[in-house]
Structure 1
Amino acid sequence: MVDLVAKSPGAGLLPVTVGTLTLAEVDLGHLTSVAPYIGQEEAASTALKSAHGMAFPAPNRATGKEGARAIWFGRGMALLAGPAPDAALATPAALTDQSDAWACVTLTGDGAEDALARLVPVDLRAVHFKRGHTVRSLIMHMNGSITRIGADCFLILVFRSMVGTLVHDLKQAMEGVAARS
């Protein structure tokens, strides 16, 4: 009998440090899409706040904090990251486990905005994209989610199957930023 071993998406690829920047894999815990049924948006937000201490996020925003976040993930959808969803959420919203579908990394350090500017067609500078702001966008040629979680820290999610490409592209961008210093 073959023993199968579970691996994280970035096993053997991360962490990567170049200059002042570090790209590291993070385990966000459970990842659950929360899609309120028609007319149940307020009830879903109330249930999310009651069960997990955060409201349903507005478009392009994230609520909560490390360990329990709700990230806007598209029209009428949020990604609950951290806790397993409370059963009360299943009444006003459709819940789908996404835990194995996404690779989750952080890009931290002085120059993180500059590295992402090489790959993302969105202005992620702090003056426009503050802590708690999130965007679904292309990252080079991949679809992904980017959330600012600190002054020089971004949470990036891409499909699990694309993590090798993400690491490659971000490492090149990080090297380009380091070469300017």
Structure 2
Amino acid sequence: MDNLVAKSPCAGLLPLTVGRSTATEVDAGKMTMVSPRKGHAEALGKAMQSAHGLGFPAPNSAGTAGEVRAIWFGHSSALLIGTEPADGVREAAALVDQSDAWAVVRLEGAGAEDVLARLVPIDLRLVSFPVGATVRSKIGHMSGSVTRVGEDAFWLMVFRSMAETLVHDLKSAMEAVAARG
């Protein structure tokens, strides 16, 4: 019988440093899609705040409380990352485990914005896209999520099956930015 070995989405592909940018894989842990049940949006926000230290995120925003994140993920949807949803959250929301569905890559360094300018059709400069901002967008030709987690740092999320493509596209963009000098 074969022995199956669990691998992360970017196993053997990262870390990668080119020029002034570095890409590393993030082990996000538990990831749960959270959507308020009809008429329970306020209760969900209160339950998340009480149990996890952050409320349900507003559109295009993300919150952090210690190792826990809540990232807006579309109309009435957020991704709760780094913890199991508390009972109050379970009562007020529809939940879907997404823990194995996403590849999460941290891109950081002085050249990160320039790298993403080649892949994402949105102005991601700090003045327009501050820390805590998030957007669902194309990353190259893939659908994904971009969240600014620091002045020179982003979380990029694509479906797990697209991890190799994401790393390839990031490497190409990193090399092009580095070649500019």
> Structure 2 length as normaliser, TM-score?
0.98
Cα displacement (A) at 1:140: 1.0
TM-superposition CA deviations, 1:126-181 (whole Å, max 9, x none)? 00000000000000110000000001000111000000000000100000110111
C-alpha separation in 2, matches of 1:96 and 1:45: 17
Aligned to 1:97: 97
Aligned to 1:62: 62
Aligned to 2:144: 144
Aligned to 2:8: 8
Whether the 8 Å CA contact 1:70–1:78 is kept in 2: the answer is: yes
Aligned residue identity for 1:108: E
Aligned residue identity for 2:69: R
Cα displacement (A) at 1:37: 1.1
Aligned residue identity for 2:81: A
Cα displacement (A) at 1:67: 1.3
Structure 2 residue 71 is matched with structure 1 residue 83: no
C-alpha separation in 1, matches of 2:39 and 2:110: 43
Moved over 2 A (4+): none
C-alpha separation in 2, matches of 1:121 and 1:156: 14
Cα displacement (A) at 1:66: 5.1
Change (3 A) 1:77 1:26: same
C-alpha separation in 2, matches of 1:130 and 1:145: 15
C-alpha separation in 2, matches of 1:23 and 1:103: 12
Change (3 A) 1:149 1:44: same
Aligned to 2:180: 180
Percent identity between matched residues is 61
Aligned residue identity for 1:62: A
Higher mean C-alpha deviation, range 64-73 or range 28-37: 64-73
CA RMSD of aligned residues (A): 0.8
Cα displacement (A) at 1:2: 1.6
Structure 2 residue 19 is matched with structure 1 residue 19: yes
Unaligned runs of 5+ in 2: none
SS in 1 for 2:88: helix
